[in-house]
Structure 1
């Protein structure tokens, strides 16, 4: 490795460190805002289904504090997500062409929007199904239901956060296609395995009945197919630009 290459590596590591520090600063600020907003959010969620039909308890002196911290972290991550996406884009930007830089930055607001859609789908569709199913098992076994508030929200976050991340799939696929690390041919080859993984995910996070699994798996599969479609759209534009370049300047 030459001296110039070593300096380049050091500069890249320094830039990465700087961007991570920016993300951490925004995350801390977001967590502070989340802690301030935690009480009204928790009260709101407590007064809507499925939480409105149960009584909450704490089983440890730390449960209420843990509940506040979990919400602070969740809100902090939500606020920080656009910043994370921007700094990821800014870090890889030097390796992109000017047209690719302009095209890829527009993914950031759509990524944030899809994350919110995933959270909403997880909370309003999947989480109630999972909660009512587990509650029905308790009743069938004649077990008195006594839920801890911290455990209730941990159960909720364990369902909705993975789904919100899965809903980022179209943006990730489009970005990787844009920087030529992925193409629709690879996605077509991987389709059967992707379907299997999505069905397994849907089965794990929903009650063990076919209808619930199908209701969750179908949107995830549609999301995958939409990702393939958008990857193909971007890939065809890339091929057209490459062909135009070769006609004008010759092979690269």
Structure 2
């Protein structure tokens, strides 16, 4: 009888998990359909915004360099002769579907976290539920800071560099729609996920896998890993990789402080008991 109850409990958890997954997938698809319906506006004002000379980042960089009396290529940005190529019959349709799904995933991120929290919450104590309520806000905040940082800093610098990089005049740059959109969406997702580092460190510390001392000891190793990850999610130019690495390293240091606070709190609770 006890085994049957356990089996029913397990099956009940599976059923509950299934519905959380169904709702999460439904949210992604609903947003994806919305983005697909407004594909022209999404592409013109978001996904292709970086190949417009008047993009705000180029203007800000130009003004910043001029403030210090430095001539900058950002003051003469031109993509007039850079037309993206669609070389397959289905390229535009499939690209708009895929990019809509990725944007749906990005925008629905807070809701996905909420579904995860709802699934986990029944197994938490009242005190733990109270303490974990800020998790969705903090994780979502870091994620969207990563989205903004990627969109307004990493993407324009990378695209400006890659569109103007040329080994010799004998080679003409002619980029495809897939390569451009893939570059933008990969950076948006990759950088945003990396910005979740403090949250990851928090949970790893809570379950006892890492400590502040461990993070300090392997700080140099972490620097190498961050540079490798930056090289993977950004184009092969040093400027973009360094610009990505700097905030990640700052978040790593914040993670050390978070880990230290978790350990101190655990020790304080242990002493009370």
**Fold-level similarity (TM above 0.5):** yes
Which runs of 5 or more structure 2 residues have no equivalent in the other structure? 54-78
Distance across 2 between alignment mates of 1:163 and 1:132: 18
Whether 2:152 is the aligned partner of 1:152: answer no
Distance 1:182 1:243 in 2: 21
Counterpart CA distance in 1 for 2:267 and 2:190 is: 34
Q: Tell me, in whole angstroms, the C-alpha distance in 1 between the residues paired with 2:111 and 2:242.
A: 35
* Contact 2:35-2:100 at 8 Å conserved across structures: yes
Residue aligning to 1:226: 254
Matched, 1:37 2:38: yes
What are the Cα deviations for residues 41-88 of structure 1, in whole angstroms up to 9, with x where unaligned? Answer: 211147743355122231112121123212311221123211211121
Measure the CA separation in 2 of the matches of 1:203 and 1:29.
Answer: 33
- With structure 1 as the length reference, what TM-score do the two structures score? 0.84
CA distance in 2, matches of 1:181, 1:96: 20
Aligned to 1:128: 156
Kindly report the root-mean-square deviation, in angstroms, between the aligned alpha carbons of the 2 structures.
2.5
Alignment partners' CA distance in 2, 1:192 and 1:6: 47
Q: Give CA-to-partner distance per residue, 1:96-147, whole Å, 9 cap, x none.
A: 3222212212111221221111122222222233333333433535322222
Other-structure match for 1:5 = 6
- State the aligned residue count: 244
Say which SS state the counterpart of residue 172 (structure 2) adopts: coil
Residues 1:8 and 1:231: Cα distance change in structure 2 (over 3 Å): same
Matched residue, 1:107: 135
Of 104, 117, 126, the match for 1:89: 117
* Distance change (3 Å), C-alpha of 1:105 and 1:179: farther
Matching residue within 65, 72, 95 for 1:67 = 95
Query: TM-score under structure 2 normalisation?
Result: 0.78
